[in-house]
Amino acid sequence: MTDRSMNPKRRLMLQAGAGVAGIAATGLSITPALAQGAYPTRPITFICPWPAGGTADATMRVLTRVAAQLLGQPIVFENRAGASGMIGARAIAIAQPDGYTIGQLPISITRFSQLGTVSFDPLKNFTFIARTSGQTFGMVVRPDSPYKTLADLVAAAKANPGKISYATAGIAGATHVGMEEFCLAAGIKMNHIPYKGGSPALMDTLAGMVDVLADSSSWAPHVEQGKLRLLATWGAERPARFKNSPTLKNAGYDVVVDAPNGIGAPAGLPPHIVAKLSEVFHKAVMSPQFKEACDKIDTPLMYLNGEDYRKYVLSQYIRDKRLIDKLNLKEQIKNG
């Protein structure tokens, strides 16, 4: 019972506290917005570090549409391509940590930070929201290419060191590093042609400007239509849609590349916003819409919550430190 001789303002505060306690006792949740301010109250910008039309662009657009419905605010999708995804990643790193700028983080942030080509630290400058999905990488050639199989390509590359060209989405990105790992394992040398994303690399491959394309599954529909030939995929297992094509491991090369994508924000994001975004993107990743979008390009779901995603990034940071030395990547970047 409240003492009626108590200061009226003090009595009102105690009554309000008792009311909140009563609500909690009923088992109903009290939203953090009551204590920390509603979020979001305006549109959110989502930065995709790849060009429009690529595989990451396609899946992230579906994911953000689902997330926008759950958040009750529009998510404005913005492509900031270039530098193997690092232009977009930097834009996320330097944004205000208020929850209104988020985006897709390429796992190659762990590699570029150690190569000295970016000014951010992946372990200090990002808030990790969720890991979303992996990628199905592969090597493809035009149907009129003399390389009918991976063995044909290896034999030709051994006979003509540095003469056969391959296109990727950029220097030191997942496809470049994957190809260099393969070349090292196969004992061959090829000529790397970097692009600003997978989409322009695919277009030039279709046009016959390069010999081989190494990319995530932007090539899939073209393979099914007979416009490209798949030599090998890079995952631990063969994709169901391309089970007749070998993986690099099937072909005898101990190379596996899946490069999972994730959702991140600038460091210093308030905990209640982290919690909200984590909840929403968990639901969005598990939605039938996102699964359907991933299935279309043979992209496996690889969900991790924010803390587990951070630990995964740390493990990749350590792995990339070894790869940089093994593949002499600093010298490759220096030479363009």
What distance in Å separates the CA atoms of residue 126 and residue 111, rounded to the nearest whole number? 15
pTM listed for this prediction = 0.76
- DSSP strands (E only) in the chain: 44-48, 75-79, 101-105, 126-133, 137-141, 165-168, 191-194, 212-216, 229-233, 261-266, 301-305
Question: In the chain, what is the straight-line distance between the N-terminal and C-terminal CA atoms, in Å?
Answer: 78
Among residues of the chain, what percentage have pLDDT more than 70?
89
Give me the residue spans of the domains in the chain: 38-135+259-333, 137-257
Length of the chain: 336
Query: Looking at residue 211, what is its pLDDT?
Result: 98
Query: Looking at residue 222, what is its pLDDT?
Result: 96
Residue 109 has pLDDT above 70, yes or no: yes
Q: What is the mean pLDDT of residues 51-66?
A: 91
Class of domain 38-135+259-333: alpha beta
Query: Looking at residue 232, what is its pLDDT?
Result: 98
What distance in Å separates the CA atoms of residue 5 and residue 263, rounded to the nearest whole number? 55
Residue 10 has pLDDT above 80, yes or no: no
Residue type, 233: T
Cβ neighbors of 287 (< 8 A, separation 6 or more) are 66
Average pLDDT, the chain: 88
* The residue to which tokens 């391509």 are assigned: 81
Using one digit for the tens of pLDDT, what is the confidence trace for 200-231? 999 999 999 999 999 988 899 999 999 999 99
Q: What is the mean pLDDT of residues 30-48?
A: 75
Q: CATH topology of 38-135+259-333 equal to that of 137-257?
A: yes
Q: Label residue 36 by pLDDT band (50, 70, 90).
A: low
Give bridge partners of residue 166 from the DSSP assignment.
192, 212
Q: What is the mean pLDDT of residues 55-74?
A: 95
Class of domain 137-257: alpha beta
What distance in Å separates the CA atoms of residue 250 and residue 230, rounded to the nearest whole number? 14
Query: Looking at residue 17, what is its pLDDT?
Result: 40
Residue 1 has pLDDT above 50, yes or no: no
Q: Label residue 299 by pLDDT band (50, 70, 90).
A: confident
Query: Looking at residue 198, what is its pLDDT?
Result: 84
Query: Looking at residue 66, what is its pLDDT?
Result: 98
CB atoms within 10 A of CB 238: 18
User: 46 is written with which tokens?
Assistant: 């989502």
What distance in Å separates the CA atoms of residue 18 and residue 42, rounded to the nearest whole number? 33
Query: Looking at residue 35, what is its pLDDT?
Result: 45
What distance in Å separates the CA atoms of residue 115 and residue 136, rounded to the nearest whole number? 25
DSSP states of 113-168 as a string? HHHT--S--TTTSEEEEEEEE---EEEEE-TT-S--SHHHHHHHHHHSTTTSEEEE
Residue type, 167: A
Query: Looking at residue 296, what is its pLDDT?
Result: 85
Q: What is the mean pLDDT of residues 249-277?
A: 95
Cβ neighbors of 128 (< 8 A, separation 6 or more) are 105, 262, 264, 306, 307, 309, 310, 313
What is each CA distance from 285 to 200, 270, 282, in whole angstroms?
27, 22, 5
